[in-house]
Structure 1
Amino acid sequence: MSWFKIGQPKKQIVSKTVERDFEREYDKLQKLEDQTKKLHKDMKKSTEADLAMSKAAVKISVDLLSNPLCEQDQAFLEAMSALDTAMKRMDSFNQEKVTQIQKTVIEPLKKYSGVFPSLNMAVKRREQALQDYKRLQSKVEKYEEKDKTGPVMVKLHQAKEELRPVKEDFEAKNKQLLDEMPKFYQSRIDYFQPSFEALIRAQVVYFTEMYKIFNDLTDQIDQAGMTDDQRQKETEAKLSELRALSIVADD
């Protein structure tokens, strides 16, 4: 039967300042982990949406190109052919952009997120070492409080010998984390800066090409002298003519 119940030690093992420093640094890394995972998820959603958009645009142009009106109206055929070419060019550049973002942003984000499980495990090992340290320190204190009989002194010596490597193990783990957690947090700047610069460059290249594509398309299909308001009025006039037909007249 045990001579006493092992509880919390009376001796302050870790100062409140050190514990606050540790909690502050680890909290920053936990937030960084959450932000990294969220950014990775959002970037994937963004590129998936980009691809879906350009694929949908190509499908629309293909559908318009197969419209029977193209067989009857040469001007309409030429306009739809120009649109189809533009949409396919847009889709091609979009795929290049997404591939570039995948390599330079999404994959680095995933790799960075993969480091956190090891970090969290190191923190758990430090916590386990701290609990072992507290347990053995409490054990030593209990023996120190007892009468200094022969058996007690033997057990006190054994408890101290058991405590020594556990104390050293905790202090080593604690020091390593306090040294390396701020360095890891600071490393995010140098790690992600090239990725975000690559993201900006990919967007700039893409939208520069889009400007060229749609500027060329405008030159091919635009009717000289017609504004958007004039086109809208022309469409409304045509719609009014359709509504005047008896087959669509209101009952």
Structure 2
Amino acid sequence: MSWIPFKIGQPKKQIVSKTVERDFEREYEKLQKLEDQTKKLHKDMKKSTEADIAMSKAAVKITGDLLSNPLCEQDQTFLESMTALDTAMKRMDAFNQEKVNQIQKTVIDPLKKYSSVFPSLNMAVKRREQAMQDYKRLQAKVEKYEEKEKTGPIMVKLHQAREELRPVKEDFEAKNKQLLEEMPKFYHSRIDYFQPSFEALIRAQVVYFTAMHKIFSELTDQIDQGGLTDEQREEQTEAKLNELRALSIVADD
């Protein structure tokens, strides 16, 4: 493990089978990936909602700037169009804020709470690793005395080493068993935990874009009285620009 600073003397007796250790590492690796993915998703969701808010606030500011343009004082039709646009942008901003609030409560906050569980899990894994190192150290100590000549003092030390080993072995086995049982359960629980959140995310988006379709359909009816296509509008704009270019004050020297 990455947090173990050095190797200790290894006992000859294998205290954990390679199969068990592979199973443990596989399950823990899955949880490490899940932790990384959860943190990334939480970060991306926050960035997405922040961008949504910035977009709708910018749209409201733009329409406000247009309304304060001197052109609105001279052209009633333009003023009416900009007023309708401003109203639509403010409605969009209000619906967008509702959507963001809903996503915050149903997606972002649950992601944050879920991420808060991983430090405790990682600490349990570290405690298991430390217990295994203690187990190995004491097992090696027992083996050392078992290999010595069976004199009285050695037998006393062997007995003491075995007594010291017993609770450490039990502690490791309990921690190992608990993690091997609970890590897969924790991993599989992610679906039940996140499914309501992402269903809520979909509903929030559906409600928002349904409202946007209604708002902009109404706006189109208000301002599209000429019934011109985008190409026709582009041609009109280009023609007006050509008229401006023909003025002597902007003519090329």
TM range (shorter): over 0.9
- For residues 68-110 of structure 1, the C-alpha deviation after alignment (integer angstroms, 9 at most, x for no partner) is 1111111111101000000000000000000000000000000
Q: CA deviation at 1:223?
A: 2.8
Which residue does the alignment assign to 1:45?
A: 47
Which residue does the alignment assign to 1:3?
A: none
Which residue does the alignment assign to 2:151?
A: 149
Give the alignment partner of residue 10 of structure 1, picking from 9, 12, 32: 12
Which residue does the alignment assign to 2:127?
A: 125
Which stretches in structure 2 are left out of the alignment for 5+ residues? Answer: 1-7
Distance 2:37 2:75 in 1: 55
- For residues 199-231 of structure 1, the C-alpha deviation after alignment (integer angstroms, 9 at most, x for no partner) is 000000000000000000000000333100000
The answer to whether the aligner puts 1:21 opposite 2:23 as a matched pair is yes
Distance 2:27 2:227 in 1: 64
Which residue does the alignment assign to 1:227?
A: 229
Say what the alpha-carbon RMSD is for the aligned residues. Answer: 0.7
Structure 2 residue identity aligned to 1:110? K
Distance 2:152 2:86 in 1: 96
Which residue does the alignment assign to 2:174?
A: 172
Distance 1:250 1:170 in 2: 87
Which residue does the alignment assign to 1:212?
A: 214
Distance 2:232 2:72 in 1: 24
Give the alignment partner of residue 159 of structure 1, picking from 146, 158, 161: 161
Which residue does the alignment assign to 1:89?
A: 91
Structure 1 residue identity aligned to 2:113? K
Structure 1 residue identity aligned to 2:236? E
Which residue does the alignment assign to 1:102?
A: 104
Distance 2:47 2:225 in 1: 38
Which stretches in structure 1 are left out of the alignment for 5+ residues? Answer: 1-5
Which residue does the alignment assign to 2:70?
A: 68
Which residue does the alignment assign to 1:138?
A: 140
Q: CA deviation at 1:187?
A: 0.5
Structure 2 residue identity aligned to 1:94? N
Distance 1:122 1:223 in 2: 68
- For residues 116-147 of structure 1, the C-alpha deviation after alignment (integer angstroms, 9 at most, x for no partner) is 00000000000000000000000000000000
Structure 1 residue identity aligned to 2:29? D
Q: CA deviation at 1:170?
A: 0.2
Q: CA deviation at 1:184?
A: 0.2
SS at match of 1:30: helix
Distance 1:33 1:200 in 2: 23
Distance 1:113 1:226 in 2: 53
Identity %: 88
Distance 1:244 1:71 in 2: 26
- Structure 1 runs (4+) deviating above 4 angstroms are none
Distance 2:10 2:71 in 1: 86
SS at match of 1:12: coil
Structure 2 residue identity aligned to 1:149? T
